[in-house]
């Protein structure tokens, strides 16, 4: 992901999420030199993206998103596999992420890939009617 991808990325982010990241959130991630990728279709249009942060020997998955019209076709799994390959390539021992407790779709994707629930952060996210818990999930890479 480059700075000039952010307009398209934010447009997908807004379409796909009820509480989307802002343009500044993405700009800050790139400025902080987090690793970020976009995935494009045959016409070179962005259809998915992900951002991770390396924290000592862990990889934190900060954002993963597939454009709604491209969802449900295996792309989310491909993007997640890319993150797992990357984390292994930099010798991370753990990948961690937070996901809304209501986001069953993403939790299903992570569980199928081998992530386990580690803990719950109560009232972590804003929600339409108050706050919502975050489920903290992790994938142990130390055996790979
Ligand atoms: C979560 C997300 C990345 C999944 O991407 P996707 O391309 O739709 O997922 P895939 O087609 O690769 O499906 C992979 C797995 O996800 C789960 N999944 C996908 N669609 C689902 C649905 N409608 N209901 C339940 N599980 C679903 C399934 O486990 C699926 O595996 P299966 O097809 O073998 O059952 C996508 O829905 C998305 O971008 N959502 C909005 C942003 C978001 O919630 N990001 C995660 C924040 S933590």
- Find the residues whose C-beta lies inside 6 A of ligand 1: 16-17, 64-66, 71-77, 99, 103-106, 108-109, 112
d(CA 72, CA 92): 29
The pLDDT of residue 43 is above 80: yes
Does CATH place domain 3-140 in 3.40.630.30?
Answer: yes
Q: What is the mean pLDDT of residues 136-143?
A: 93
13 is an active site residue: no
Ligand 1 atom nearest to CA at 77: 12
Note if the pTM is more than 0.75. yes
For 51-109, the pLDDT digits (tens) are: 999 999 999 999 999 999 999 999 999 999 999 999 999 999 999 999 999 999 999 99
* Alpha-helix runs per DSSP H in the chain: 6-16, 23-31, 75-89, 104-113
- How far does residue 108's CA lie from ligand 1's centre (Å)? 7
Q: How far is the CA of 72 from the centre of ligand 1 (A)?
A: 6
- Is 125 a catalytic site residue? no
Cα–Cα distance for residue pair 10/7, rounded to 1 Å: 5
Chain mean pLDDT for the chain: 97
Identify the active-site residue in 13, 49, 58, 98.
Answer: 98
Per-residue pLDDT, 144:
64
Q: Can you give the pLDDT at residue 143?
A: 73
């Amino acid at each position: 992901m480059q700075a000039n991808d952010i307009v398209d990325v934010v447009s997908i982010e807004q379409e796909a999420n009820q509480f989307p990241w802002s343009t500044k959130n993405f700009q800050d991630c790139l400025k902080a030199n987090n690793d970020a990728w976009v995935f494009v279709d045959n016409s070179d249009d962005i259809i998915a993206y992900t951002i991770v942060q390396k924290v000592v020997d862990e990889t934190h998955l900060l954002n993963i998103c597939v454009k709604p019209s491209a969802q449900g076709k295996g792309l989310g799994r491909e993007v997640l596999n890319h993150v797992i390959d990357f984390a292994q390539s930099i010798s991370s021992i753990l990948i961690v992420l937070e996901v809304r407790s209501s986001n069953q779709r993403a939790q299903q994707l992570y569980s199928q890939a081998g992530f386990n629930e580690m803990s719950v952060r109560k009232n972590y996210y804003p929600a339409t009617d108050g706050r919502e818990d975050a489920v903290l999930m992790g994938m142990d890479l130390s055996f790979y």
